[in-house]
Amino acid sequence: MSGLCDLHDYPEHERIAIAIAVRDSLMPAPAPVLPLVAFPPEHAGAGALSTEGAT
């Protein structure tokens, strides 16, 4: 009889690798995750007001 019963002939680390490969082949690929880019907060009032009011 062939199939999953044949997995007992393999060492445990190979069975785990096979199980992971089967799982990954059955699961849909996740959407790519874009890295988060931190934008500094805009302090429009702090710099602009001090230079405009200096005249």
Query: Which residue bears the tokens 């988060």?
Result: 36
Q: What is the pTM of this model?
A: 0.41
Instruction: Round to whole Å and give the CA distance between 23 and 29.
Output: 11
Q: What is the DSSP letter of 7?
A: G
Does position 1 have pLDDT exceeding 50, yes or no?
no
Residue-wise pLDDT for 21-39, tens only, equals: 998 888 877 777 777 776 6
Instruction: Round to whole Å and give the CA distance between 6 and 11.
Output: 11
φ/ψ of residue 38, rounded to 5? -85, 120
- Tell me the three state secondary structure of residue 31: coil
- Tell me the three state secondary structure of residue 29: coil
